[in-house]
Chain A
Amino acid sequence: MAEVEDTLKRIQSINGVIGTIVVNAEGIPIRSTLDNSTSVQYAGLLHQLTMKARGTVRDIDPQNDLSFLRIRSKKHEIMVSTGGL
C-alpha cells in the first residue's frame, strides 16, 4: 500500500503533471488527485476510448495488446497505460 502511494506521489510530483487517476477494469476510479466529478468524467471517457483502441490493436493482431495510449491536444496531453488487469 505504501509503495503504491509513494509511486503515485512520485508521478504526481513530476513537473507538468496536473492530475493522476487510477481506474479499475470497469472504468471506476479508485484513486485520483482530481475532484470527484472530473475523475468520473475522465474515467468514463477514457475507459471507452481505451477499450476501443485495445480492440483495434487486437483486431489487427490478436497476439498483440495495447500498452500505452497518449492523447495530445492543444492544451494538454493525456497518457493512459493499461496494465492488463
Chain B
Amino acid sequence: MPSSHDWINKPLGVVEAMFAQSNSNPEWEAKVLEYFKGQLREKESHSWVPSLNDVPLHYLKPNSLVKFRCLVQDMFDPEFYMGVYETVDPSTKANVLRCGKYKDVTECGVDLNSRNTVTAERQTFYCVPIPGESPWAKESYGCSSQARVVPSTSYVPSRQKRSYEEDDDDMDTQPQKQREPHTEPHGNGDSKRQETEAPSSQTTAPSDCSSHLDLNFPLPGERGPACLVKVYEGLDSFKLNDTLEIYGILSVNPVLTVLGEEKDPSLLLLNPTESMETPEEQRAHDPPASLVPRLHMLYARPLQHNNPLLPSAPTEDQSAFVSSFLVEMASVRAELLAYLTHVLLGDGLAAEYLLLHLISNVYTRRDVLPLGKFTLNLSGCPLNSYTERLYQIVQQLVPCSYRLSMSLHTMNSMRLVPKKDYVANRLVSGALQLARNTSLFLDETQLEQGQLDSSGVRNITALGNLISWQKVDYDFSYHQMEFPCNINVLVTSEGRSLLPSDCQVPLQPQVTPPNMEEYLTTIHMAQFTSQINKFRVYLSLARTLDYSISDEVTKAVEDDFVDMRKDDPQSVTAEDLHRMLVVARLLSLSLGQTTLSRDGWMRAKHIDMLRRSRTEQQKSLNGNEP
C-alpha cells in the first residue's frame, strides 16, 4: 500500500504528528480537520475510504479511517474527556504530553495530577444505517467503492469483492419477503462460507446478539452495524434523524469492553458508592465495541439524497450532470409513465399521479403547514399480493422505502412512534423514525375487521398526523415532542382509505391479467437495468429542482380560482386550490420545467378534474367496485 494513503490507514498518526508540532497551540485542531477535508476533496479520494456499510467490521483495521452512511437515531448526553494529558514513562520518569482527542482509551502511565490536563467536551450520537435502504442502492454504493480492504483476521477470502455483495443481498432479503429463486444457489454457498468464518465474526451473526442487545433499528428485520459516533465539532449543527456520511476513526478497542466491565477500584481514584448509570443504561450507552464500534468523527457530510447514481456533492460535477440530464427528462418521463401504466394495469391517470407522488418532497414549511407533500391514496387495488408486487416495483425505483402492512395485528403490536426509555436513557426507535424522502408504503388492503386497542389507535393517529402535518410526535412520557419529517406516504386500499390523504385516485384497471404475479414479473423483467437506472436518477433529480411561479401566472391562477368559485362555490374550496398548486408544481418539475406556465396550470387542472370525476363516479357506484 502506498504511503500516500497513510491518512486512511493511520489517521491517528497524522493527528498525533500535528499535535506534536503544535506546541499546545489550540489551532492544531482546526488544522487536522482542514487536512482531512482537503484529502477528501481530492478527486475520488472518498471512494478509497472503506465503508462500514459494505465491509464487515472484522475486515476493517482498527484505528483506520472509515466512512459510514447513516441516520442519527439518538443523541446521548455530552461527556467530558481529557483532551490533553500527560504520561510518565516509568523508566525514564520523563513526562510526555499526549492528545486524547479521537480516542477512547489513554496510553499507559497517565499522570492524573498533571497540571497540563485539558478537559474537553464531546457528544455521542447513536447512528444506524439509513432505514429501508433499497438493495439496489446498497449494491451500487458497494460497487463504486474502491477501497482495498485487507481483513484484520488471518482469513482471506479468495472472492472477497463478490462475497460482500452477497452478504448484502442476504441482509436485505427481509424474512417476510419471498426469496427470489435466483438467490437460492448463492445462498447455499454463502452459508458454507459463513461457517468457516463464524468464530471471528460478530456482525455476521446478529441473531444471537439481538437476543441480549437491541441495536435499536427503526425498522424490524434490518441489519447492519450500528455505531457510536463521537462528535467533537459543531454539535449544534446536527439534528436527530439527519442522514450523514461520516468519515471518522474506527475504534473497536476491546479494552473498552473490559474497562466497562470490571473496574478495579484501586486503580480509579474516585469510585462513587453508587454508579451513575444503571445496568440498562450501561448496556444502551456502552455496548461491546465488537458489536457497536465507536467512530470518532473527523468530517461529516449531510446527504441531500441517498441515490448512489447521482453525484453526491453539490459540485460543478453535479450541475453539469443535471443540465445534461434535463435534456432527456421529458423522454425519460414518458418511458417511466409507460412503465408505471403497465404496472398499474393500464391505468394512465393513476400512473401519472403515482409519478407525481414519487417526486414529491416537503420543500418548505410555513409555520405549521408543510408545503409540497403529496400523499396518494390508490384505492380499488386488486387483492392477492398485487400490492406486494407493486411495492417491490416502487422499491426498485427509490433509494429508501418501507412497506407497512396495516393489518390489525401489526397496528396493535408494532411500535411506530419512537419512545424515550428513561430506564436505559435512550430513545427506543419506531418504524416512523425514517430518513427524509423515504417512501412509506401503507398497505391498507391487509386490514380486516376487528378491534383496535389503545396502542392501535395511537398508531393510526400517528399515521394520520404524519400524513397531515408531516411530523411525528415522539413519546417522552411526560410530554410529546414533535419532530418534523419528510416522508412520502402512499396508501393502497380497497375502498377509500381511513387515513387522510392529499389526493385519492381510484384505480381503474384496463387489463385483467389472468396471472397477476406473472404479469408483473414480466413487466419488471422487460426493463433493462440501464433503463431502470435512468428512472432512478430521474426520480431523485426531479425532486431537487428549484421551482417558482411568475407574477403573471400567479394572477392567472387567482383569477381562475375566483371564476371557478363563481360558477359553483361548493365545487372548489381553498383546499382544492392548495392541492392543484401542488399538482401543478409536481407536474412542471416532472417535465423538467422550473417555472409554472399557463399550460402547466391548465394541465394540472385538467388531470385533477379527471381524477375528481372518477372519484365522484366511484362514489355513485357506492362501493360496488370489483
| A, B in one complex | no
Interface residues of B (CB under 8 A from A): none
